[in-house]
Chain A
C-alpha cells in the first residue's frame, strides 16, 4: 500500500516534564532565530545609501558582477532571428538625453585618455566607412518587456581597432594584452542628460554595434539618431542613444540608471 521503502518514524517514551522542557527550549530558539530576519531587514534598510539603493544590496550586486565576469564567457552570442521576425515599429521607451533637437554640428567626440591630445571628432560617414553588420535580436528592457529588432551599424570592436582606441599604449586593442585595455568605456549624450559606463569586454563583444540603421533605414531621432549604441549583451538601459562623447577609463564611468539604484553591470 504505502511505499515499501518508507521507514517508520522513531518513537520513544519520555516523562511529561521532559517533553515540556524540550518544547520550551525549541520555541526559545525559534523566537531567537525569528529575530534574525527582522535584524537583517533593519540593518539593510538603515544602511547608508550607495547610488540609489542600500549599501549591502549594492555590495552583493557588485559581487554578482564579479561572478559573471569570472565565470561567464564574453564569446557567447545573443541568439539572432530572421529579418522578418523583427518588429516593424520598434518601441521607444525613453527620452532622457535626447529631449533637445539633434545638434546641427553633431560629431562623435572621442577623448584621448591622456587628456593632452585633441579629442578625435568623427562624423557618421566615418562610422559608415567601417564594415557594416546587421543584427536581428531580442532587445530586452530592464522593465521586463522585450522585442525582436533589426539594427545595422559598425562593430564597436572594429571601430576601436581602426582608430586604435581603448588602450593605454595607443595601439589597437590586442586580446593577447588585456592589461593594455582600459576597463571601461563611457558614453554620454551631447547634452549630458544621459550617460552610461560599459565594461570593455562587453563593449568589445562582436554583437556590440555603433548603430545608424533600424529596419534598413537611417535611425530616427527618438531611436537615437544619428548614432547610437546597440549592445545586445546588456539591458536596454545601456544602449545609449545619440552618442555625443566617448571616453575610456579604469574607473567606472558614471551611469544614469546605476545612480538611480539599478545594477551597474546588467550583463545578460
Chain B
C-alpha cells in the first residue's frame, strides 16, 4: 500500500497546463510586437546595463519585421489567456483552493526561511501544508501579474475606450512599459519555477499531471506539523471519574 496525498485538483492542472502554451504564445508574439519599438533599457548613469534587446538577440530568434504577425497572434490568444485566467481565479475562489494560495503575514517570514534553506544557509524549512510561504507569495503574485497584464494590455489596446484606465496607469507610454515589465516578470518567474521543479524532483513534478503525490515519511523537502493525536481515548463527556469541578454556590447561602 502507498499513502498518497491529493495535491492538485483536476481543474487546477488543466488551468496550469493550458496557461503554459497560451502564455508562451503571448510572450512570443509580444516580442514580435515589441521589436517594432524597443526603447527600454536599464541604465546606471550613462552606462547601459541591459538593453531590451540587442540586435543579436532578435536575429537569433528571427523575430524581426514580424509586427503584423505578432499583433494577430497576440489579439487572438489574449482571449484564451483571459478566459483561462478568469476560470482559474473563479475556480480557486469557489473551491476554497485560495486557502492554500493566498499568503498571510507569516508567509513572508517563512519565505525568508525557505530561501535560506534553498541556498543551503539553513538546515530545515518551516512546516507547510500545500505550498510554503515562498510558493504562496510567488503563485499569488503571478496571479496578480496576470490581472496586471490584462489591465495594462487593455490600456494600450483601447486607450480611447479605456482612457480612464490608461490615465490611471500613468498614460499610454507608461502602460506599455508596465505591460513589458510584467512580461519580464513572467520570464524570471519561469526560470526560477523550472529551477525549483528540477530541484524538487519527480514526485513533485508528476503531481501537476496526476494530481497526487506518494508521501515519503520524514521528507526534509516537505516538513509537516505534528499530526494532532487522535487515537488516544477522548475524555468521556458524562460518566467516569471526573475532576471535581468547582461549583459555584450562591453567595447568599
Contacts and interface: CB of A to CB of B under 8 A. Distances in A.
B100 A6 contact: yes
Interface residues of B, number: 53
Interface in B87-110: 96, 99-100, 102, 104, 106
A12 B159 contact: no
Contacts of A5: 99
B100 A144 contact: no
Contacts of A61: 72, 75-76
Contacts of A145: 37, 39
A22 B212 contact: yes
B189 interface: no
Contacts of A144: 33-34, 36-37, 176
A57 interface: yes
Given A3-B104, A27-B209, A260 B68 contact: yes
Interface string B90-134: 000000100110101010000000000000000000111110000
A11 B6 contact: yes
Nearest to B161: A72
A263 B37 CA distance: 18
Interface string A21-60: 0110011001001000100000000000000111011101
B11 interface: no
Contact of B69 (A13, A53, A76): A53
Interface in A192-246: 232-233
A52 B66 CA distance: 11
A216 B5 CA distance: 73
Interface of A: 1-3, 5-16, 19, 22-23, 26-27, 30, 33, 37, 52-54, 56-58, 60-61, 64, 68, 72-73, 76-79, 138, 140-146, 232-233, 257, 260-263, 267-268
